[in-house]
Chain A
Amino acid sequence: MATTIYVPRDSSAISLGADAVADAIRAEASRRGIEIKIVRNGSRGMFSHEPMVEVATAGGRVAYGPVTTGDVASMFDADFVSGSEHQLRIGVAEKIPYLKSQTRLTFARAGVIDPVSLDDYVAHGGYRGLRRALDMNPENIIAEVAKSGLRGRGGAGFPTGIKWKTAFDAPPTPKYVVCNADEGDSGTFSDRMLMEGDPFTLIEGMTIAAIAIGARRGYIYLRSEYPHANRALGEAIATAYAKNYLGDDILGSKKSFELEVRLGAGAYICGEETAMLESIEGKRGMVRAKPPIPAIEGLFGKPTIINNVISFATVPIIMERGAEFYRDFGAGTSRGTIPLQLAGNAKNPGLIEKPMGATLREIVYDYGGGTASGKRVRAVQVGGPLGAYFPESMLDVTLDYEAIAARGGILGHGGIVVFDETADMAQMARYAMEFCAIESCGKCTPCRIGSMRGTEVIDDIINKRRSRENLEILRDLCDTMKYGSLCLLGGLTPLPVLSALKFFPEDFGLDAADVDFIGPDLTISANAVTSNAIAPR
Chain B
Amino acid sequence: MSAEHSNNGGGWDLQEIQKIAERFADTPGGLMPLLHAVQERVGYVPSEAVPIIARTMNLSRAEVHGVISFYHDFKSAPQGRNVIRVCRAESCQAMGAVELASHIQRRLGIGFGQTSKDGAFTLEPVFCLGNCACSPAIVVGEDIYGRVSKERFDEIIARLNPGVGQS
- Stretch in B15-23, B76-84, B103-111, B121-129 with 4+ CB within 8 Å of A: B121-129
Given the known interface contacts A344-B94, A381-B90, the answer about A187 and B70 at a Cβ–Cβ threshold of 8 Å is no
Tell me the bound Cα distance from A357 to B17 in angstroms: 54
Please name the residue on chain A nearest to B57 by beta carbon.
Answer: A282
Q: Is the CB of A265 within 8 A of B74?
A: yes
Q: Is the CB of B95 within 8 A of A280?
A: no
Q: Is the CB of A225 within 8 A of B130?
A: yes
On chain A, the residues within 8 Å of B132 by CB distance are 186-189, 341, 343-344, 349, 415, 417
Given the known interface contacts A344-B90, A417-B90, the answer about A225 and B126 at a Cβ–Cβ threshold of 8 Å is yes
Residues of B121-164 at the interface with A, using a CB-CB cut-off of 8 Å, are: 126-135, 137, 142, 144-147
> Is B35 an interface residue when CB atoms closer than 8 A count as contact?
yes
Given the known interface contacts A187-B132, A227-B142, the answer about A267 and B72 at a Cβ–Cβ threshold of 8 Å is yes
Tell me the bound Cα distance from A308 to B130 in angstroms: 15
Q: Is the CB of B33 within 8 A of A189?
A: no
> Is B3 an interface residue when CB atoms closer than 8 A count as contact?
no
Please name the residue on chain A nearest to B66 by beta carbon.
Answer: A284
Q: Is the CB of A262 within 8 A of B93?
A: no
Q: Is the CB of B33 within 8 A of A263?
A: yes
Residues of A189-209 at the interface with B, using a CB-CB cut-off of 8 Å, are: 189, 191-192
In the complex, what's the smallest C-beta–C-beta distance from B156 to chain A, in angstroms?
A: 11
On chain A, the residues within 8 Å of B95 by CB distance are 344-345, 372
Tell me the bound Cα distance from A80 to B36 in angstroms: 44
Of the four ranges (under 10, 10 to 19, 20 to 34, 35 or more), the interface on chain B belongs to: 35 or more
On chain A, the residues within 8 Å of B146 by CB distance are 12, 15-16
> Is B14 an interface residue when CB atoms closer than 8 A count as contact?
no
> Is A304 an interface residue when CB atoms closer than 8 A count as contact?
no
Given the known interface contacts A263-B32, A267-B71, the answer about A11 and B90 at a Cβ–Cβ threshold of 8 Å is no
On chain A, the residues within 8 Å of B74 by CB distance are 265
Q: Is the CB of A428 within 8 A of B93?
A: yes
Q: Is the CB of A11 within 8 A of B91?
A: no
In the complex, what's the smallest C-beta–C-beta distance from A358 to chain B, in angstroms?
A: 18
In the complex, what's the smallest C-beta–C-beta distance from A155 to chain B, in angstroms?
A: 14
On chain B, the residues within 8 Å of A326 by CB distance are none
Tell me the bound Cα distance from A475 to B12 in angstroms: 54
On chain B, the residues within 8 Å of A265 by CB distance are 32, 35-36, 71-74
Contact among B29, B31, B66, B134 for A16, CB-based, below 8 A: B134
On chain B, the residues within 8 Å of A100 by CB distance are none
> Is B28 an interface residue when CB atoms closer than 8 A count as contact?
yes
The contact string, 1 if C-beta is below 8 Å from chain B, for chain A 234-268, is 00000000000000000000000000001111111
On chain A, the residues within 8 Å of B72 by CB distance are 265-267
Tell me the bound Cα distance from A528 to B84 in angstroms: 46
On chain B, the residues within 8 Å of A418 by CB distance are 94
Contact among B30, B130, B144 for A282, CB-based, below 8 A: B30
Given the known interface contacts A282-B67, A417-B94, A431-B93, the answer about A262 and B130 at a Cβ–Cβ threshold of 8 Å is no
On chain A, the residues within 8 Å of B145 by CB distance are 15
> Is A419 an interface residue when CB atoms closer than 8 A count as contact?
yes
In the complex, what's the smallest C-beta–C-beta distance from B36 to chain A, in angstroms?
A: 6
On chain B, the residues within 8 Å of A282 by CB distance are 29-32, 57, 67
Most chain A beta carbons < 10 A, residue from B33, B87, B91, B128: B91
Residues of A253-303 at the interface with B, using a CB-CB cut-off of 8 Å, are: 262-268, 279-285, 300
Tell me the bound Cα distance from A224 to B73 in angstroms: 8
Q: Is the CB of B147 within 8 A of A225?
A: no
In the complex, what's the smallest C-beta–C-beta distance from B30 to chain A, in angstroms?
A: 6
Please name the residue on chain B nearest to A379 by beta carbon.
Answer: B94
Q: Is the CB of B91 within 8 A of A343?
A: yes
In the complex, what's the smallest C-beta–C-beta distance from A217 to chain B, in angstroms?
A: 9
Q: Is the CB of B129 within 8 A of A225?
A: yes
On chain B, the residues within 8 Å of A343 by CB distance are 91, 94, 132-133, 135
On chain B, the residues within 8 Å of A279 by CB distance are 32
Q: Is the CB of B36 within 8 A of A263?
A: yes
The 9 closest A-B pairs by CB, nearest first: A186-B89, A282-B31, A343-B132, A265-B71, A344-B94, A15-B146, A266-B72, A265-B73, A349-B133
- Extra inter-chain contacts (15) besides given A342-B133, A344-B132, CB under 8 Å: A11-B131, A15-B144, A186-B127, A186-B132, A187-B89, A188-B128, A188-B130, A265-B35, A265-B73, A265-B74, A267-B70, A283-B66, A341-B132, A349-B134, A415-B132
Which residues of A are at the interface with B, using a C-beta cutoff of 8 A?
11-12, 14-16, 45, 47, 50, 183-189, 191-192, 224-228, 262-268, 279-285, 300, 341-346, 349-351, 372, 381, 385, 415, 417-420, 423, 428, 431, 435, 438-439
Q: List 11 A-B contacts (CB under 8 A).
A: A15-B144, A186-B87, A186-B92, A186-B132, A262-B33, A279-B32, A283-B66, A349-B134, A418-B94, A435-B89, A438-B127
Which residues of B are at the interface with A, using a C-beta cutoff of 8 A?
28-33, 35-36, 57, 63, 66-67, 70-74, 87, 89-95, 126-135, 137, 142, 144-147
